[in-house]
């Protein structure tokens, strides 16, 4: 039978239920306990010999004649309900079960705890009710969902049929819970900042644009949480963090998505060196709380979060590998190094983008955990200049399994330096670099009132996808897909 025929047959069963005086979609479920609670208290219920009402989705139906078995699942556990004609209080109700119940339906069953001859903890049914009649069949757990796009499009079915996939999202929840708990324990204020902005900033990325009809202005979905949270430092909050969604209208890959969850935090009177210890503690807390271990195999890399994290010098690494010093080379020299190394970089290149491409070709071989340090000022417009070398910034990136898994820096709090860097970024933007940052006059004005020296840090859900050793879109509950063509 095709899908349309199955829907039509099930619609007939809806009418059979209504004709029998049973509502196929009642308001109240009237259950007593979850299936897990039923199993946990099973021995006591056997002794009490009392009735209990359970509910769940029918995942399997077996048997014929005077006895049928239905496997119920409510998201907490599975329990077998035994439908025996001699035990059901109303014989018509037993017949109605056989005529109208399909795999996928939600039902409630009232009966008593009962252990089968095979020792399976079950419920001996005395009565049942339909709670929600399904109109489409659930695919077979082994043969029904093989198309990879369909698995993502009908994610609810994938999760229902695949306990391991459900486990991914349970671990994802624990991942962010561990992060939030870590910050709250240390006295950070959890903020909630705007998603719509009149001027996107805080990162090098192309934003999504939309129109605000009430204010009659062009607005953007935020590409970062940074500039709002740093305003809170100016406002007198010494420790702030946010876990929120950000949106970047750029390429999609195994590691990159256009909308994803990001953590950012800022702490007054701390610097990059303080932050490196802080971040090691954070990552170790995450992996031990979520996975109970420190060592991971991620792609071709073996990563041990418990070991001492090394420091990698950005400029020296590039000079050693490609023979150009990012601090002193010209734009032509940087671009030529990219071309000589046969790195795919597109047609539009400036010095900053060329050096970035050179680094990314090196990064893939770094297993980590490691801190990347001594990055040129022109690659980071929001970090303080280093005291030892004014051409580099007080910034680190966390390197894990060949990719960047977090970034922290001593925040720039000199408004004149900030304006100059924004203006340089704006020039790059005017010359065609769509990912260069905009000049944000309002943020510079806020800085002029005085911003304390501080340490800032950010990481995204990419870390979770790496720990799971899965592509980023597979670790999102409902990844964005093109609309289905009908």
| pLDDT of the chain, 486 residues: tens digit per residue | 899 999 999 999 999 999 999 999 999 999 999 999 999 999 999 988 889 999 999 999 998 889 999 999 999 999 999 999 999 988 899 999 999 999 999 999 999 999 998 999 999 999 999 999 999 998 875 445 567 777 888 899 999 999 999 999 999 999 999 999 999 999 999 999 999 999 888 877 889 999 999 999 999 999 999 999 999 999 999 999 999 999 999 888 888 899 999 999 999 999 999 999 999 999 999 999 999 999 999 999 999 999 999 999 999 999 999 999 999 999 999 999 999 999 987 767 899 999 999 999 999 999 999 999 999 998 887 788 898 999 999 999 999 999 999 999 999 899 999 899 888 888 888 887 777 778 888 999 999 999 999 999 999 999 999 999 999 999 999 988 888 776
Terminal Cα-to-Cα distance of the chain (whole angstroms): 20
| 127 φ/ψ angles, rounded to the nearest 5 degrees | -160, 165
Which two tokens mark 174?
């624990």
The SS3 call for residue 196 is: strand
* CA distances from residue 218 to 52, 212, 425 in whole angstroms, order as listed: 58, 6, 21
Give CA separation, 5 vs 11, 82, 136, 485, in Å: 10, 29, 10, 21
φ and ψ at residue 172, rounded to 5 degrees: -60, -45
Cβ–Cβ < 8 Å for 263, 458: yes
Within 10 A of 206 (CB to CB), how many other CB atoms are there? 15
Task: Take residue 21 and report the two structure tokens written for it.
Answer: 């005086």
Nearest to 465 by CA among 265, 269, 255: 255
Cβ atoms of 445 and 246 closer than 8 Å = no
SS3 54: strand
Q: According to the model, what pLDDT value does residue 432 have?
A: 79
Q: What is the pLDDT of residue 271?
A: 95
State yes or no: cis peptide before 199, omega within 30 of 0.
Answer: no
Residue 482: its pLDDT value, please?
A: 84
**Are 148 and 479 spatial neighbours (Cβ–Cβ below 8 Å)?**
no
CA distances from 107 to 67, 364, 452 (A): 17, 52, 60
Q: How much is the pLDDT for 106? A: 98
The H-assigned helical ranges of 129-271 are 148-153, 155-161, 163-185, 226-234
The span from the CA of 295 to the CA of 302, in Å, is 7
Torsion angle of C-alpha atoms 221, 223, 226, 229, degrees rounded to 10: 20
Element housing 458 (H / E): strand 454-460
Two tokens at 160? 């229902």
Q: Is 420 strand, coil or helix? A: helix
pLDDT at 445: 94
Spell out where 13-66 has E strands: 51-64
Cα(173)–Cα(142) distance, integer angstroms:
27
d(CA 452, CA 234): 7
pLDDT, position 367: 95
**Residues whose CB is less than 8 angstroms from the CB of residue 173 and which lie 6 or more positions away in sequence, other chains included:** none
Domains of the chain, CATH where assigned:
3-132 (2.40.50.140), 160-309+368-475 (3.30.930.10)
- pLDDT for 485: 75
Closest CA to 432 of 224, 247, 206, 253: 206
Measured at the alpha carbon of residue 281, what is the angle toward residues 278 and 284, in degrees to the nearest 5? 150
Q: How far apart are CA 276 and CA 274, in angstroms?
A: 6
């Amino acid at each position: 039978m095709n899908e349309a025929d199955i829907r039509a047959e099930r619609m007939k069963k809806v009418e059979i239920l209504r004709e029998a005086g049973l509502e196929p979609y009642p308001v109240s479920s009237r259950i007593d306990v979850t299936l897990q609670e039923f199993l946990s208290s099973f021995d006591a219920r056997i002794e009490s010999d009392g009735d209990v009402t359970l509910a769940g989705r029918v995942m399997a139906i077996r048997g014929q004649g005077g006895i049928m078995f239905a496997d119920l699942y409510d998201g907490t556990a599975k329990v077998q309900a035994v439908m025996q004609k001699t035990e059901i209080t109303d014989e018509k109700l037993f017949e109605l079960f056989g005529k109208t119940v399909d795999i996928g339906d939600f039902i409630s069953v009232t009966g008593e705890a009962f252990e089968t001859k095979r020792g399976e903890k079950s419920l001996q049914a005395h009565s049942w009710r339909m709670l929600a009649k399904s109109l489409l069949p659930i695919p077979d757990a082994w043969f029904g969902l093989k198309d990879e796009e369909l698995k993502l499009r009908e994610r609810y079915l994938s999760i229902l049929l695949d306990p391991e996939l459900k486990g991914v999202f349970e671990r994802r929840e624990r991942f962010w819970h561990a992060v939030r708990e870590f910050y709250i324990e240390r006295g950070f204020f959890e903020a909630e900042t705007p998603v719509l902005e009149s001027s996107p900033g805080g990162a090098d990325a192309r934003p999504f644009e939309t129109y605000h009809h009430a204010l009659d202005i062009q607005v953007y979905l935020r590409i970062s949480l940074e500039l709002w949270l740093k305003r809170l430092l100016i406002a007198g909050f010494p420790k702030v963090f946010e876990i929120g969604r950000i949106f970047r209208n750029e390429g999609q890959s195994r590691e990159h998505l256009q909308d994803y969850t990001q953590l950012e935090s800022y702490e007054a009177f701390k610097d990059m060196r303080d932050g490196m210890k802080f971040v090691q503690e954070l990552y170790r807390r995450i992996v031990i709380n979520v996975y109970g271990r420190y060592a991971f195999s991620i792609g071709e890399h073996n990563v041990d979060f418990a070991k001492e994290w090394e420091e990698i010098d950005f400029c020296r690494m590039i000079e050693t590998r490609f023979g150009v010093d990012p601090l002193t080379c010209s734009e032509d020299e940087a671009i030529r190094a990219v071309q000589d190394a046969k790195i795919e970089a597109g047609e539009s290149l400036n010095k900053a983008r060329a050096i970035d491409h050179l680094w990314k070709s090196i990064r893939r071989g770094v297993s980590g955990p490691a801190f990347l340090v001594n990055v040129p000022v022109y690659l980071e417009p929001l970090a303080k200049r280093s005291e030892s070398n004014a051409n580099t910034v007080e910034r680190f990136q966390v390197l894990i399994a060949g990719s960047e898994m977090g970034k922290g820096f001593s925040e720039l709090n000199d408004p004149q330096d900030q304006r100059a860097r924004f203006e340089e970024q704006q020039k790059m933007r005017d010359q065609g670099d769509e990912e260069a940052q905009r000049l944000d006059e309002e943020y510079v004005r806020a800085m002029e009132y005085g911003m304390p020296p501080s340490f800032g840090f950010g990481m995204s859900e990419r870390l979770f996808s790496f720990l799971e050793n899965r592509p980023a879109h597979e670790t999102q509950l409902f990844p964005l897909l093109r609309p289905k063509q009908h």
